Amino acid sequence: MKELIQFIATSLVDDPTEVSVSEVSRGSQSTLKLQVAKEDMGRVIGRNGRVAGAMRQLLRVSAAQEGRRATLNIVDPE
């Protein structure tokens, strides 16, 4: 699941070296945190959040195939 989000995010952004995905798992629940460069936040979120929503949907489907649950959080760069 982490690799899926990493691949999608690096395909969307101008600076793929700034893409960072971390995963925290608790039982069958996983939380993925996506961090990109400040300039690329708009590309990852998309107009009205459509790109972010599509990424979350793909993540849920991927997790369901493994019998797990997953959420995606897009965090501000530090």
* CATH superfamily to which 2-75 belongs: K homology (KH) domain (3.30.300.20)
What's the pLDDT score for residue 52? 96
- Residue 66 CB burial class (10 angstroms; 0-12, 13-18, ≥19): exposed
CA atoms of 10 and 68, how far apart (whole Å) = 24
The domain limits of the chain are 2-75
What's the pLDDT score for residue 77? 83
Report the chain (78 residues): mean pLDDT per 10 consecutive residues: 95 94 94 96 95 96 95 90
What's the pLDDT score for residue 36? 96
What's the pLDDT score for residue 78? 73
